Amino acid sequence: MSTDRRVLVHTDRAALAAAAAERFVSTMSELLAERPVVHIVLTGGSVGIDVLAAIAAHPDRDRLDWTRVHAWWGDERWVPTGHPDRNERQAREALLDAVVIPSANIHPFPAPDEGLDLEAAARRYDDELRAAGGGTYPSFAITFLGVGPDGHIASLFPELPGPTVAEPGAIAVHDSPKPPPQRLSLTLPLINSSERVWLVLAGADKAAALGLALAGAAVADVPVAGVLGQRRTLFLVDEAASAEVPAALIAPTSYWTGAMDQPDWAP
């Protein structure tokens, strides 16, 4: 299966969120028509939550059969269930509470009030992932990711062990440079097993990370540089975040970073 990386530049954050929502609803409609179950991975962060809210507001939202959708997370802060900083809570409020999705299809990371330590919580999520995939990891059709100004994705931060973990799975993250210091995250190999990875980022403070990712920076230093989905990798950005992209690569609304000989692009 061929893969490529593409960057789509939108005028501002609102336009980015609306376009991502449109792409999600259209792609999910096609996926649900061709397979019985679709697994997706959600992200937190302000732009990621904006995208989820835009999906909830989409007029065709309820045309999707959410009973056949399974929702996972790329990472989570190690804070109690229901805490406002949990990606899970934010995603529920932005989208999941608004659609008819069975509770059994929502797969949040464990929380510290569930009687587990951080390492045991990572193992339990890994076990849940494998169970859902029938002994291996499920095939993620769409994985959303945010990108930090330092180039981190999920809770894989520069100069920590996480970005260079070689095996797919869920891991415990200690000493995060962003609070809280303890987190849970999917590894880069598991993220990259996704059919499609859609990275959403906005603002001038993300421009350097995007530029370095496209320039092929070391994954240990700029984790987002290592993201590559099995079929498509999309960077959905606003104009401010695209400021450090090489001018020779920019088209009016988008540009390619790979597979330049494949003009018939599909989501």
Mean model confidence pLDDT for the chain: 91
Q: Where are the domains of the chain?
A: 4-256
Residue type at 196 in one-letter notation: R
Q: Would you give the distance in Å from CA 15 to the centre of its chain?
A: 18
How many secondary structure helices (H) and strands (E) does the chain include? 6, 10
Decide the pairing of beta strands 140-146 and 196-201. parallel
Hey, how many other C-beta atoms are within 10 angstroms of the C-beta on 115?
9
For the stretch 56-72, pLDDT in tens is 999 999 999 999 999 99
Domain 4-256 has CATH 3.40.50.300: no
pLDDT band at 246 (very low <50, low <70, confident <90, very high): low
Return the number of other C-beta atoms located less than 10 Å from residue 260's C-beta.
9
Residues 6+ apart with CB under 8 A from 72: 39, 40, 41, 42, 107, 129, 138, 140
Q: Which residues partner with 238 through β-bridges?
A: 10
Average pLDDT over residues 9-23: 96
Instruction: Check residue 5 and give its pLDDT.
Output: 81
pLDDT score of 259 more than 50: no
List all residues 6 or more positions away from 182 whose beta carbon is below 8 Å from its beta carbon. Answer: 77, 78, 118, 172, 173, 174, 176
And the tokens for 147? 């990108």
**In sequence order, what DSSP letters do the residues of 197-234 get, joined into one string?**
EEEEE-SGGGHHHHHHHHTT--TTT-GGGG---SSEEE
Which residues, at least 6 apart from 12, have a Cβ–Cβ distance to it below 8 Å? 202, 238, 239
Residue 191 in tokens: 């993220």
pLDDT the model gives residue 267: 58
pLDDT beyond 70 at 265: no
Contacts of 209 (CB under 8 A, 6+ apart): 147, 148, 149, 150, 151, 201, 222, 224
- Nearest residue to 188 via CA among 215, 158, 214, 209: 158
Residue 257 confidence (pLDDT): 46
Question: Are 101 and 61 spatial neighbours (Cβ–Cβ below 8 Å)?
Answer: no
pLDDT of residue 21: 98
Q: Are the beta carbons of 52 and 25 closer than 8 angstroms?
A: no
Q: Using one digit for the tens of pLDDT, what is the confidence trace for 24-61? A: 999 999 999 999 999 999 999 999 999 999 999 999 99
* Per-residue pLDDT tens digits for 79-98: 999 999 999 999 999 999 99
pLDDT at 260: 34
Percent of the chain with pLDDT over 90: 87
With a pLDDT cut of 70, the percent of the chain lying above it is 90
* pLDDT classification of 143: cutoffs 50, 70, 90: very high
Residues contacting residue 239 through CB under 8 Å, at least 6 positions apart:
9, 10, 11, 12
Q: Which of the pair, 248 or 180, is modelled with greater confidence?
A: 180
DSSP calls for 34-90 = H-S-EEEEE--SHHHHHHHHHHHH-TTGGGS-GGGEEEEESEEES--TT-TT-HHHH
| Residues 174-214 pLDDT 10s | 999 999 999 999 999 999 999 999 999 999 999 999 999 98
